[in-house]
Every structure is written in structure tokens, then in C-alpha cells.
């Protein structure tokens, strides 16, 4: 694998925003492993833009916790990768620095928002990258780029140093070419962090526990019947072929239902935009980031915030609306109630099954510049947002041909999700 500086500089996919040419490598279990980092995770002394003009020249003075842990484990940070601006998008086309291309067909989108991270792994430029996932932003691009991508349990990995989109949903996780490397990186980056009060008081992810689960040999596996009704024929065919193979190995396979799933997408886009509206209020030209001076303070705010891209502006406006007087109860509180229903229904599955499988992507990746409506693009997240709302671990297993399957496990059972993914990789 060519992971040299020149290979990253050549980058025909527009997947890399910054190449890290100088670095010191500590001794540790990752032993010089090259890692690319989504450019919404701060890196001391290395430009971090969130793919936005408003942070175009921002150089953080500190490392995110995950970066500190990677460095201490001996990883090499080699690049910062492209993304949808402030992680808001499902295709990788919303970056202020141009769209990322799919490594297997440059005419297609790579998925978003962790577009660059999935693309550099899919292209073989690096063995592993970090992404962030709010409603599917690791899993969807991993599916579109035929690689592995893991959204951990919310709170299993520190968010300290992640540029916030929706704080009750954002997680950091790995995207890798194989599940073993993914699990090794999870072992390093996970665990409690006093700098992030939302981290769980749980031990770090255990590679050995995931391996033990993968060798168990008999599983009770559920699949979400409602999801098969809304996926394309190609995806349904690949998914059912996998289910048949799992059943032929002597595993129990049963249908599970997600009746509350019809609320997931609207609830997600109410909660996520509301939190984005609050989080992005800090980019005002006063505190940090780019400042565009106007004739007075209000004009300065307007000129500075006009640097946001169209999708970011759209989500800020929607979020501000649902939090406004008279609409808070009608939208935001109802969305929170729907989230609770979804979380409870997903938790109930695991009284009967060990893991649940469902397709990752409802359709194959669209063409770059297809020009769909925002709602059509939002629907790409249909199969991923329920598990973000529930906070449970979900792993994308690549089935090939731009199709992925999610392995979903109970809250805090991250090793179970990855372990079953390892089992699947051995029978594919």
C-alpha cells in the first residue's frame, strides 16, 4: 500500500485537504500505522477546517483526545480528509473545497459526511481513518466505498476536540479496510475521558472480546422487516443472500420489527438541526474563525455567517425555527418523545437476539451532481438514523458493489457488533 506523502498529494479524488509531511512517531501498539483524520477533528498545529470557509485558516492549539491517544499508541497522522461542511451531508458534495469522488467510480458520490476518510481507505491510500457519525456519516460512506465503518455506542469514544454538529448524536469512529485494524484502533481511541463529561464509565473497547465473540459459532440474528420494504432490488437481493448464508451455518434467524422507525428521519432532522443551530452560533466573527468586518456589529455577523454553505445555512434556519417560541413543543419535544420510543423498541430486540442486521444504504450511490432535492438526499440516512437516535453501536460490513449491511448490537456492546462483523467477513 502506497501511503507516502506523494501518494496523498496526488489524490485524484479530492479526498485530502491537508497532507501532514512532518511527524514524530512514538513507540506503541499501533507501530507506525498511517491514519487519516476527518477534518472536523482538531489537530494541534495542523489546519482544521471542517470543510468550511469560515474555518479555512484555523490552526488549533491542541489535539482532540482521540488524536492524543493515537499518537501515544504509535500511530502516524498522515492527512486531514475532506467532508461535507460541518459534517452536514450524506454525499460528500457539500464541502467548501469541492466534492469528494468515489474511489471505485469517480462519477459517483462517496457518501457523507465522512467522504474523504472513506475514500482514502477505499482507494488504498491509508489502511484506516477516523470519521464522525451523527446520523450515518461513517456507515453510509463506508458502504458506498466498500469498506468497514463503525459507529460506537454514544459516549464510548471521547468527543473532546470534535467540532460539534449535534452534540447528543455526534460520535467518532474508525473506517478501515478490514475489521482487525478497525478493532485495534477502537481499542486505542475508546474509554473514559475527564475532558468529556458524556463519555461512559466503561473500559476501553477490547479487541480480544470482539475476537472471542466472532469465534462463538452460534448466534441468534434478527433482521428488520420494515427496512427490506424500502431498499432497492439490488440491495435486498444481496442482503437476503447474506441472511441465507448465515442461516445455513446453523444460526437462528428471525424477523424483528421497528414500528417506530417511521418517526426516525423526521425526529432526527428536528433534533440534529436544533442542536446545530445552537452549536454554530459561536461562528460569529468575534470569537474565532474568519471575521468579515461590516459597518456595525450586526453587519459583521451577517457578512461573516454568509460564508456558511447552503446546506449549513438551511440546517441552521430549520433548527432555529423548531426551537422558536410556539414551535418548540410542536416539533422539538415531539421529536424527543419519538427518540425515546425508537430507543426502547430497539432495546427490546435484544431480549430475543444477539445482533440485528439491516442494510446500510437504501439505494446505490447517486451520480455526483445529480441535483436531488434536500429531502431526497436526507432519505439516504433512513436506515442509519434509528441507531444514532438510540445511541447503540452499528458496524457497516461491506458486501461489495457499493452495498453495506449494518450489524447492530445492544448499548455498550460494541465488541459484539464488531465481533459478529468479523464472523460475517469469514463467511462472505
Q: Hey, which residues does 256 pair with through a beta bridge?
A: 224
Peptide bond into 245 cis (omega under 30): no
Which among 129, 120, 119 is positioned nearest to 172, based on CA atoms? 129
Active site residue 167: no
- DSSP track, 141-185: HHHHTT-EEEEPPTTSB--TTBPPS-TTT-EEEEEESSHHHHHHH
Active site residue 295: no
Q: Assess contact for 360 and 143: CB atoms under 8 A.
A: yes
| C-alpha to C-alpha distance for 282 and 47, rounded to whole angstroms | 19
Handedness of CA 418, 170, 96, 54 (dihedral sign): negative
| C-alpha to C-alpha distance for 35 and 339, rounded to whole angstroms | 34
Catalytic residue among 38, 71, 101, 151: 38
Catalytic residue among 90, 113, 190, 260: 113
Read off the C-alpha cell for 311.
Answer: 446546506
Residue with cell 482521540: 66
E strands present in 244-400:
252-256, 355-359, 394-400
Packing angle between helix 264-279 and helix 334-349, nearest 10 degrees? 120
Mode of pairing for the β-strands spanning 394-400 and 403-408: antiparallel
Element (H, E) at 339: helix 334-349
| C-alpha to C-alpha distance for 222 and 352, rounded to whole angstroms | 9
| C-alpha to C-alpha distance for 134 and 139, rounded to whole angstroms | 10
Q: Assess contact for 83 and 113: CB atoms under 8 A.
A: yes
Catalytic residue among 90, 137, 190, 214: 137
Residue with cell 455506542: 153
- The percent of the chain in helix, strand and coil, each rounded to the nearest 5, is 40, 15, 45
Number of other CB atoms surrounding residue 215 within 10 Å? 11
Active site residue 113: yes
Please give the positions annotated as active site: 38, 113, 137
Amino acid at each position: 500500500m502506497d501511503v507516502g506523502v506523494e501518494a496523498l498529494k496526488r489524490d485524484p479524488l479530492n479526498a485530502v485537504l491537508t497532507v501532514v509531511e512532518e511527524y514524530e512517531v512514538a513507540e506503541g501498539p499501533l507501530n507506525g500505522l498511517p491514519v487519516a483524520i476527518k477534518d472536523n477533528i482538531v489537530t494541534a498545529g495542523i489546519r482544521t477546517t471542517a470543510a468550511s470557509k469560515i474555518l479555512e485558516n484555523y490552526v488549533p492549539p491542541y489535539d482532540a483526545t482521540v488524536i492524543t491517544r493515537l499518537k501515544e499508541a504509535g500511530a502516524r497522522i498522515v492527512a486531514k480528509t475532506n467532508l461535507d461542511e460541518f459534517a452536514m451531508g450524506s454525499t460528500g458534495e457539500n464541502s467548501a473545497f469541492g466534492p469528494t469522488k468515489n474511489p471505485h467510480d469517480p462519477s459517483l458520490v462517496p457518501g457523507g459526511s465522512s467522504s474523504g476518510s472513506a475514500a482514502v481507505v477505499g482507494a488504498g491510500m491509508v489502511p484506516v481513518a477516523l470519521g464522525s457519525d451523527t446520523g450515518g456519516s461513517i456507515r453510509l460512506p463506508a458502504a458506498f466505498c466498500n469498506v468497514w465503518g463503525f459507529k460506537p455506542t454514544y459516549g464510548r469514544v471521547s468527543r473532546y476536540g470534535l467540532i460539534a454538529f449535534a452534540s447528543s448524536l455526534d460520535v467518532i469512529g474508525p473506517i478501515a479496510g478490514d475489521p482487525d485494524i478497525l478493532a485495534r484502533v477502537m481499542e486505542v481511541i475508546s474509554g473514559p475521558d475527564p475532558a468529556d463529561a458524556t463519555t461512559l464509565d466503561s473500559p476501553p473497547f477490547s479487541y480480544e472480546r470482539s475476537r472471542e465473540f466472532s469465534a462463538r459459532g452460534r448466534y441468534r440474528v434478527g433482521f428488520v422487516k420494515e427496512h427490506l420494504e424500502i431498499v432497492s432490488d439490488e440491495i435486498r437481493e444481496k442482503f437476503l443472500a447474506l441472511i441465507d448464508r448465515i442461516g445455513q451455518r446453523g444460526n437462528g434467524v428471525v424477523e424483528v420489527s421497528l414500528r417506530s422507525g417511521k418517526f426516525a428521519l423526521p425526529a432526527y432532522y428536528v433534533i440534529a438541526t436544533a442542536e446545530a443551530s445552537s452549536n454554530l452560533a459561536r461562528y460569529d466573527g468575534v470569537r474565532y474563525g474568519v471575521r468579515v468586518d461590516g459597518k456595525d456589529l450586526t453587519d459583521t455577523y451577517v457578512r461573516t455567517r454568509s460564508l456558511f454553505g447552503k446546506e449549513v445555512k438551511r440546517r441552521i434556519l430549520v433548527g432555529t425555527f423548531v426551537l422558536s417560541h410556539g414551535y418548540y413543543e410542536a416539533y422539538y419535544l415531539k421529536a424527543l418523545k419519538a427518540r425515546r420510543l425508537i430507543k426502547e423498541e430497539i432495546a427490546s430486540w435484544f431480549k430475543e437476539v444477539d445482533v440485528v442486521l439491516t442494510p446500510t444504504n437504501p439505494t446505490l450511490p447517486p451520480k455526483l451532481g445529480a441535483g436531488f432535492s434536500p429531502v431526497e438526499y436526507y432519505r439516504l440516512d433512513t436506515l442509519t438514523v434509528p441507531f444514532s437516535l438510540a445511541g447503540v453501536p452499528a458496524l457497516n460490513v461491506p458486501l461489495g458493489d457499493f452495498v453495506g449491511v449494518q450489524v447492530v448490537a445492544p448499548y455498550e456492546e460494541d465488541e459484539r457488533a464488531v465481533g459478529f462483523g468479523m464472523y460475517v467477513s469469514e463467511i462472505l
